[in-house]
């Protein structure tokens, strides 16, 4: 992976010290923040503007203490030399906010427009492949999976036995662990339509567990979107929502272009409500709904 160019360095010293009350500059200073920001940008493409200095401190301070290094400077030197520790630091700085049926219009479009196409593909002996890129703690991919299975349980079970696979990837190990557990607080699943909840989840003592039919379609994998993608075949559907907001524009443009190449002709890309397709991908994707795109047939 090519190293990112050095981050610009606007004058922050006064503002930085003011925003870090009670924190000794000998433990954590502006130079430490800049070093962390550079590492995270190079590793994951994530931009950390100066306003995130306190977030960096609060997320990494437990790791610094656990390492026994005492200062952020010593901790940074350590993670530069130790890839596994660097990975833990990057994971700690990722944001994993999501919820079931987020951006409802995406799932409604999928159910009414895309699902019939996928069922037709299966009926003609084709495989169905979908990808939740940046799946976080699993709410998105399970919303998608249950939308595919539909509210009719016998029909959904028959569908689940077909050649259907859904990849759910994220860079954060702790998010993937929660997603793999497939258990959520009952109130967290309230936004999911009742027919889907009733068909594909079970509830016990305030906890809801995703049923085995839905879980069995999903494969969770750690994947850095900024790195290599080991995919063997293209996808009919890719969800990557509210992930690109953390990247700079050139990184966003490259990522969307890669997604477009990873779609079959006629495949669908869903992105976040504040995200847009730009760059080379514009010549490959047509807008078919709010933040919904379809790869052109040629």
Along the 298 residues of the chain, how does pLDDT read in single tens digits? 444 555 444 445 455 656 677 788 889 999 999 999 999 999 999 999 888 999 999 999 999 999 999 999 999 999 999 999 999 999 999 877 789 999 999 999 999 999 999 999 999 999 999 999 999 999 999 999 999 999 999 999 999 999 999 999 999 999 999 999 999 999 999 999 999 999 999 999 999 999 999 999 999 999 999 999 999 899 999 999 999 988 999 999 999 999 999 999 999 999 999 999 999 999 999 999 999 999 999 7
pLDDT for the residue 85: 95
Phi, psi of 141 (to 5 degrees): -65, -35
- DSSP-derived 3-state class of residue 35: helix
pLDDT for the residue 24: 87
pLDDT for the residue 10: 47
Cβ pair 44, 171 in contact under 8 A: yes
pLDDT for the residue 9: 46
The arrangement of secondary structure in 13-92, i.e. its CATH architecture, is: Orthogonal Bundle (1.10)
pLDDT for the residue 50: 86
pLDDT for the residue 18: 63
Classify domain 104-295 at the CATH topology level. Answer: Rossmann fold (3.40.50)
pLDDT for the residue 25: 87
pLDDT for the residue 2: 45
- Please report, for the chain, the start and end positions of each structural domain, with discontinuous segments joined by +: 13-92, 104-295
Residues 263-288 as b or e (16 or more Cβ within 10 Å = b): bbeebbbbbbeebebeeebbebbeee
Provide the edge-to-edge strand list for the sheet that holds 285-289: 218-222, 164-170, 128-133, 235-240, 263-271, 292-295, 285-289
């Amino acid at each position: 992976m090519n190293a990112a160019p050095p981050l610009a360095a606007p004058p922050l010293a006064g503002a930085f010290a003011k925003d870090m009350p009670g924190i000794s500059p000998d433990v954590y200073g502006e130079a430490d923040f800049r070093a962390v920001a550079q590492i995270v940008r190079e590793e994951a493409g994530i931009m950390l503007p100066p306003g995130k200095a306190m977030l960096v401190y609060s997320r990494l301070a437990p790791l610094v203490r656990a390492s026994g290094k005492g200062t952020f400077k010593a901790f940074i030197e350590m993670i530069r030399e130790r890839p596994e520790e660097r990975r833990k630091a990057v994971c700690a700085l990722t944001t994993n906010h999501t919820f079931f049926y987020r951006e409802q219009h995406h799932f409604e479009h999928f159910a009414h427009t895309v699902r019939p196409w996928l069922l037709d593909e299966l009926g003609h002996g084709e495989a169905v492949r979908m990808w939740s890129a940046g799946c976080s703690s699993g709410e998105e991919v399970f919303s998608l999976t249950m939308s595919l299975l539909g509210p009719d349980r016998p029909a959904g079970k028959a569908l689940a036995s077909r050649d259907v696979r859904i990849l759910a990837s994220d860079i954060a190990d702790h998010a993937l662990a929660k997603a793999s557990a497939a258990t959520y607080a009952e109130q967290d699943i309230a936004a999911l339509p009742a027919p889907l909840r009733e068909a594909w989840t079970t509830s016990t003592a305030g906890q809801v567990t995703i049923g085995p039919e839905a879980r069995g379609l999903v494969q969770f994998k750690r994947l850095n979107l900024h790195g290599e993608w080991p995919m063997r075949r293209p996808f009919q559907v890719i969800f990557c929502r509210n992930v690109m907001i953390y990247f700079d524009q050139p990184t966003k443009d490259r990522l969307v272009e890669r997604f477009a190449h990873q779609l079959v002709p006629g495949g669908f890309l869903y992105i976040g409500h504040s995200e847009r397709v730009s760059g080379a991908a514009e010549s490959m994707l047509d807008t078919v709904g709010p933040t919904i795109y379809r790869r052109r047939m040629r």
